[in-house]
Structures are given as structure tokens and as C-alpha cells.
Amino acid sequence: MKYYKKLQVFKTIKFSVQLKPYIIKIESRLGSALLHTNKNLFLYKNVICIVIPKSKNRVKTLFNSLFFRLKGLQFLYVMKLSLKGLGFKVTILENFITFKLGFSHLFTYCLPRFLKAVVYGRFMHIKLFSNNLQKLREVCIVIKKLKFPEPYKGKGIIYFGEMSTLKAIKKL
């Protein structure tokens, strides 16, 4: 039994297919992406059809990854990080983000080429833009690891709007 799923694509996205090896190049106004497949995808006008024999889960996985890649090429994904704490600052120079997080030294992180960043709000908030959601989340996790929120005061790097419960301070 063959399982299949259809995906409607926006007209602003253009496809080109290379047969050996089977690669589909997707282009839009926000960037481009390459998909390496083993002839499971069929293109017809603005519809992508995914056909895989005997595996419904593989069809869903391939469909979801393709859907998020196409959505990222149409609209940019945005994640916001916030610095909570007195004296915490962030600055951006070209493709380097520099963090001052209360230690005696600065942290510098080199941004990947697929990612853009903007600092706003008195050097306390960062907006990260990318057309690849998975890579954007990975970068946000790496940045958040520089200073996890403390459980008692809540100081650190958090996602914008994230609510964390603080531990009660024991008094003698």
C-alpha cells in the first residue's frame, strides 16, 4: 500500500529539479533551499505530492519538514530573547553578538550566515530571524546556555514572554 500527501505551494516559490542526484532547489524572495530526496517527491504546477510505499510515518515526517522549510522561505521565523538582570547587555557588530552577563569577561558568539539579529530595548532584547526554524531554535538554545535563569531571582537569558516559577527563599 502506498501512502501519499499533497502540499499546496505559494506561487512566489520557484522549483528546479536536478535528476542525478535527485535534488530539488527551492527559491523565493527570502532565500533558497536544497532538498535531497530519493524520488519520493513529485512536482506538478504548484502542488508537491509525497509518495512512499509501506510507511505512513515517513510520509508525515517528510511532509512536516518540507512544510516548515517552505513556510520559512515564504515568511521569516522570529524568536525573541530577553536579558533579565542588572548590568546585562548585548551588542551586535557585523555577524558577532557580544554579551556582558555579569562575569569578568565578555561572551562573543558568531552568528551563522542564515541568521539575522537585531538588538532593541536598551540592549536588553534580541530578535533573531531565519528561514529555517530548526536551526533558529538551535542557536537560541546555545545563546540561552550562556546564562540560564537562576531559580531564586530569575536573572539570565530567557525567551521573550517566558514565565518561570521562582523558588522560595528559606528564612531562618
pLDDT for 4: 66
User: From first to last of its 172 residues, what are the pLDDT tens digits of the chain?
Assistant: 666 677 777 777 777 777 667 777 888 887 777 777 766 776 666 677 777 677 777 777 777 877 888 888 888 899 999 988 888 889 998 889 998 888 888 899 999 988 999 998 887 899 999 988 889 999 999 999 988 888 888 888 999 888 878 888 888 7
C-alpha cell at 52: 512512499
Please tell me the distance from the alpha carbon of residue 110 to that of residue 92, in angstroms, as a whole number. Answer: 10
Give the domains, in start order, of the chain with CATH numbers. Answer: 2-74 (3.90.930.12), 77-159 (3.90.930.12)
pLDDT score for 108: 92
Does the pTM surpass 0.85? The reply is no
- What Å distances lie between residue 141 and 26, 51, 148, 154, CA to CA? 27, 34, 10, 17
Q: What per-residue confidence (pLDDT) applies to 104? A: 82
pLDDT at 138: 94
